[in-house]
Structure 1
Amino acid sequence: MKKMILPLFALAALASCQEEKKPAEAPVVAAANTENKTEAPAPAKAMPDQATMEKNWKDYMTPGTEHGLLAEAKGDWVGEMKMWQAPGAPPDSSTIQQENRMLLGGRYQQSIAKGNVMTMPFEGISTVGFDNHKKKYVSTWIDNMGTGVMNMEGSWDATTKTINFTGKMINPATKAEEDVRETFTILDKDHHLMTMYGTGPDGKEFKTMQIHYTRKK
């Protein structure tokens, strides 16, 4: 409060001096000041007490059962992949090798996939975590077939054992940002199924990719 009072006092003193020197111009100056006056900033929100802030931070940083679900997929996997370039088109098939590991004290899962896709060497890296604040799974994906980062968020469906992700990605062919949807289903501890959906030329959703993962023994 003291910091606010001092500038206001100085402004009042300056206005007083102007009135003494040019009394006739005072109303004009006042009008100009009124027009240029900016709105006062919104009052700051009350901060939680120290104990509450410490608890909030601890809750945010502590891995839970959702992170444990990701940790169950640690290890080496083989992925049988199919990709569809257009609705109704025959799929391109390939096989990828994938290594899953947990990072930063079990807070994030990192997956590194390698193989050949459409006769080209392919490498991609994903990170998946569970945001304790959002109560959602969050993921990123990068690969050597683009220069952007795909971000998605998803919720866990315990009935189907599926994480349902949604997000946006750039379609390199059209340079347009499009909606993307992914389902990641845990069939059992050694078999997972990932299915991705994109937007077709007619604006409707269609299946663009499917990967059936099998854990290496």
Structure 2
Amino acid sequence: MHTHDTPVYDESFWDARYGEKHRIWSGNPNPQLVAEASDLEPGTALDVGCGEGADALWLAGRGWQVTGVDISSVALARAAEHEGGLDDGHPPVSWAHHDLTEWTPPAQAFDLVTAQYMHLPTEQRVPLFERFAEAVAPNGTLLIVGHSLSDLQSEARRPVHQDLYFTAEDIVQLLGPGWETVVAEDRPREASGPDGAKLAVADAVYRGRRVG
């Protein structure tokens, strides 16, 4: 149950957030996706919480057949608009509107499932990540990236509720047998602060391969 202190990241929240300005993200793919997926053979990919579409479009540009899912219809319309502004030559992205806290993706249907910075309360996040894992095909890859709890000590804009954070080891423990851990670490990177200054932050990065 949510209390008055727990943020509620529902459709109205995200529609309002994306409605604040024409673009709220950089338009560049997330750095850990680039780091971890560049060596993968293209296949089918599910980008959950795809937002304005930068990750999905980067994957499509590398030959992946991508399904991009988000709770915000505003974000999805913007993602489709960005895709329309690109040159032809990449597989078209399938944009889908779903509440990820309720939606179950098809089982073992994707060679890559990627979830970038999905910070939800534990009671929602754990079953969510379990469903993402079930969507990975045999020998496929699950990539989950989040802000490290250590970022709360930086000047970066981060959620203040500790229950919204997870570690890579949390994902390892959640998945259990049937998964080969390829990466499970806190990875430092550089980000831009509110005033444009460079900040040292870190990401919790989990990359696993389904073997069972």
Q: Same fold (TM over 0.5)?
A: no
Structure having the higher strand fraction is 1
Normalized per residue, which structure has more helix? 2
- TM-score in terms of structure 1 length: 0.29
TM-score normalised over the length of structure 2: 0.29
| Bigger relative contact order (CA 8 A; separation at least 6) | 2
